């Protein structure tokens, strides 16, 4: 399974660079050796005590992550990445650079949205902030949240609608109520 993923990576990387893969890159013995080393490392980290669920899940995650042309397989095949480090890695660390960039962009947008809400709440003009002890967080189930009442949308005052934005006191989760 891992050797097939490594082979898929070599072929995808060759397609991405519009070149044919070198015969040494597709050597089945080399790919099998790297795969065996990685599987042994995964077994050392996840193989005992939990009935194999962690081991199996990590191998499946690695098999998917190793197929991408811009993924971590290139470092593993070059020898610049230790199989033990890869066995301990989570899905975020195993994601290709393009996927990590998308996740970082999404986090940046969420941060900007939160800053915009806080700015609106701090400006007045229909915005107010109060604490609600009876509000239940949909994420963690905890009681208590900061409530931001904000006027949103429209160019003119009569076109705006009031939106309530809640920020959980326990987990920091945010949600809205329009």
User: pLDDT digits over 50-70, tens only?
Assistant: 665 688 888 888 888 888 878
Tokens of 111: 């941060």
User: pLDDT digits over 78-133, tens only?
Assistant: 888 888 888 888 888 888 888 888 989 999 888 887 776 666 555 555 567 788 88
Residues 88 and 120 in one domain: no
pLDDT at position 19, please? Answer: 84
Determine the distance from the C-alpha atom of residue 87 to the mean position of all C-alpha atoms in its chain, rounded to a whole number: 17
In the chain, the largest separation of any two C-alpha atoms, in whole Å, equals: 72
Residues 31 and 69 in one domain: yes
How many whole angstroms separate alpha carbon 174 and alpha carbon 31? 46
User: pLDDT digits over 30-53, tens only?
Assistant: 888 888 988 999 888 887 666 656
Residues 124 and 85 in one domain: no
Residues 115 and 146 in one domain: yes
Residues 16 and 38 in one domain: yes
Residues 81 and 109 in one domain: no
How many whole angstroms separate alpha carbon 105 and alpha carbon 164? 25
Residues 57 and 118 in one domain: no
Which of 69, 95, 121 corresponds to the end of one domain?
A: 95
Tokens of 155: 């160019």
Residues 158 and 81 in one domain: no
Report CA dihedral (83, 88, 92, 93) to the nearest 10 degrees. -40
Residues 109 and 85 in one domain: no
Residues 75 and 117 in one domain: no
Which of 48, 76, 95 corresponds to the end of one domain?
A: 95
Residues 19 and 65 in one domain: yes
User: pLDDT digits over 125-159, tens only?
Assistant: 556 778 888 899 998 899 998 888 877 777 776 77
Residues 38 and 13 in one domain: yes
Which of 67, 95, 123 corresponds to the end of one domain?
A: 95
Q: Sign of dihedral through CA atoms 125, 126, 132, 137?
A: negative
Structural domain count, the chain: 2
Cα distances (Å, whole numbers) of residue 85 to 7, 42, 44, 65: 21, 9, 11, 14
How many whole angstroms separate alpha carbon 6 and alpha carbon 105? 28
- Parent domain of 122: 104-177
């Amino acid at each position: 399974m891992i050797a097939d993923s490594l082979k898929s990576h070599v072929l995808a990387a060759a397609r991405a660079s519009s070149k044919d893969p070198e015969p040494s890159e597709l050597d089945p013995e080399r790919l099998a050796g790297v795969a065996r080393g990685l599987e042994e490392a995964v077994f050392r980290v996840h193989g005992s005590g939990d009935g194999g669920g962690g081991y199996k899940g990590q191998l499946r995650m690695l098999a998917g992550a190793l197929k991408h042309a811009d993924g971590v397989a290139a470092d593993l095949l070059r020898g610049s990445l230790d199989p033990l480090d890869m066995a301990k890695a989570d899905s975020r660390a195993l994601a290709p650079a393009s996927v990590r960039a998308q996740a970082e962009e999404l986090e940046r947008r969420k941060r900007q949205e939160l800053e915009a809400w806080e700015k609106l709440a701090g400006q007045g003009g229909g915005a107010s902030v109060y604490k609600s002890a009876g509000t239940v967080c949909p994420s963690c189930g905890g009681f208590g949240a900061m409530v931001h009442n904000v006027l949103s949308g429209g160019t003119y005052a009569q076109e705006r609608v009031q939106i309530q934005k809640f920020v959980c006191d326990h987990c920091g989760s945010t949600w809205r109520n329009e």
